[in-house]
Structure 1
Amino acid sequence: MREQLQQDFLTHYGKEHQHTYFSPGRVNLIGEHIDYNGGLVMPCAVTMGTYLLVAPNNDGVFRFKSVNFKETAEVAVGSSNVKKEQFWFNYPIGVIEHFNKDGKELQGLDMLYFGNIPIASGLSSSASIEVVTAYALNDLFNGGYTKLELVKLAKWVENVFIGLQSGIMDQFSVAFGEKDKALMLNCDTLDYQAVDSNLGDYLLAIINTNKPRKLAESKYNERVQECNAALAALKQELDINYLCDINTETFNKHKHLITDKVVLDRATHVVEENDRVKLAAKALNDNVLAEFGRLMYASHHSLSTLYEVSGKELDTVVNFCKPNADVIGARMTGAGFGGCAIALVKKDAFDKFSAEVTEYYTKEVGYAPSVYSSLIGDGVGLLPELAHA
């Protein structure tokens, strides 16, 4: 693939590239819908991601081309970068805008992007593009940003330049990811712990339901409001700022304060899920994958029945996995109402798993999922160049 990208760059720009950068996508292994409740998430970088090939030019412009999209763009160095509709290149243009805003000196570049992350699957293709661009510019032009500052810069692009209100987990995990490690991250303080996550004979299967996530945003806001209602009720007796400031034991002693059953269900998921993240970290550290898998199933059950953000498509995938001897854990990942599920599947059984889950899902849902395999990979970086023949 790298050789093909080198050839693509040569074809597009009529010269050879000089550097190749890579930023992964990410999945959240466990800890869903608790980031805005002061809790812990456990994302990891995957081995799919975004490649960026670059070479300088003397024309004083940034040129953007992608193997994945037909739209291209050209932006003058130092200009105020106005967005042009909702095209993919707005993400890197937003990064350049932030560099300009901070007074960083940049020079012309020819840039070619290629991503093998499924678009709109919830695996953070946008964060991957933002972070790989920010990392490359920082490296090429001695920008002086720390990796954490690049993460915050990329989040600014998403929130302010693009206008999508999302948290920092995506940018953080694609920047700080480490091979065979999950990141137990507090999204509020950005304190994190790298957790050993050697999957051994298993790999991460990513099953894209291929259902558009139209409900996710409105239901997301609804869940935030319900959690705020639960917090207000608990504050009658507890001095807390977030639901995740207490554990399940403390919650059970005070949950009588929450009189609305739906609100109680939401809060129960949040508090118990936060505890599950801590138990999952211990299971991974102790290399007890079966226990980690059990916690994945418990997480999904809670998201489906208490938090009600799953749906037929995601439940169908997990229901297929439960009795399968080649799978030790599965759950939805991301906001829900579509998007992806993940499963821990034996490496030597992946092809069989992929065929069987596709057949089962298609029969139950009416259209096919997309199934991918991944390991836990490294975060953003400069790739060594291939030797030329």
Structure 2
Amino acid sequence: MTKKIFPLVLLLLLVIPVLAISIVAADDWPPGWVFTPYWPPGDYPVWSTPGGALIGIQEPTTISTDGSPIGDPMFYSATCMDSACNEILVSIMTFPGGTWGEMPYNQLVIIKRTDWSTLAGAPTATPVSLTSTLTSTPTTPVPPTVTPTPAPASCPADVIWQAAPRAEKVGAFPPNPVVRGQGGQGLTITYRATSFPVIRHYWVEVDNSHWGCIHTESGFEDDGRYGVSPCSAGWEGWETRWIEDKRCEEHVEIIPDPIQVNGRAGANLRENSMRWIETELQQRYPGARVRKPDWNIPIRVVTNGCAADGQCVMVAVVHFPFEDPGWYDLWAEFQTAGTAYTSPRLFRYQSNQPQAVYLMDSTLLPNW
């Protein structure tokens, strides 16, 4: 199975070119960028042999580039073929049709100093037939236009956010509780409390100011795409400047808000149930009375801790040894510890339906 890729930017045109740059000086042969895959934009005369072999008839051709890498940068190489480096062998790896996964094709081309000697500023030499029609125009690569990013007057203030904590009833045993004194043991409730982390967004000023090589017309800063520094090479229209580069860098901090262990839970017998005990139940069982209608007791923590994502969870139980039958409203209260950026939070569970507690005679129970 093969994979498709985008075509590489390598144009080998079998035509006699018109050279569009002049950056080869008399004392600058070979130019340093020849040994990298990043040539300045232009058309360059080279020689190739059919099939990419060094032995055979050499044919004139042209490498045209817009400044993008020539072939695959990982497999590019350039080597002097003699001690004076009058000829340079360049190995370029390409892919037929511009597709990765296909058999790669290695293109060998030769750069001859005599072909490039007619460029402006180069030493005098008799050009071969390939370069007899070459013309040289002094140009500098045109970089992209840059829109400056204004430095912020000041970084934004912190943004603090936290989801509301939550408490829920997750268990009750037994399912049909009976009051103590009638063979029952009351009721045990299991609660789960969840506290969500504090999310703090804050910004820090980062100063990346530095000296850079700038194109005076477009404001573009050299990023190394040309293989040489335009300022060091003395290219026209480039200068070294101090670049102010201050910006606000955003950071996110996740801060757990643990749950304290001093939670409490309660149960309250409804008024209707208390009236039922003192009227109907008392008529059936003389001496019946309301004994302990309201409960407010500490919880017993089973597990409590915070996870790596900042969420904190507590599981707690509470036992009510009920003495009065009827309908109870259940509740539980918890509190977080708070953080450096937030105050402690008090949150509560409140039942939306009452809990029934029975006598042994399960038919005896008032309305809600």
TM-score normalised to structure 1 length: 0.15
RCO comparison, higher one (Cα < 8 Å, 6+): 1
More strand by share: 2
More helix by share: 1
Whichever of the two has the greater Rg, that structure is 2
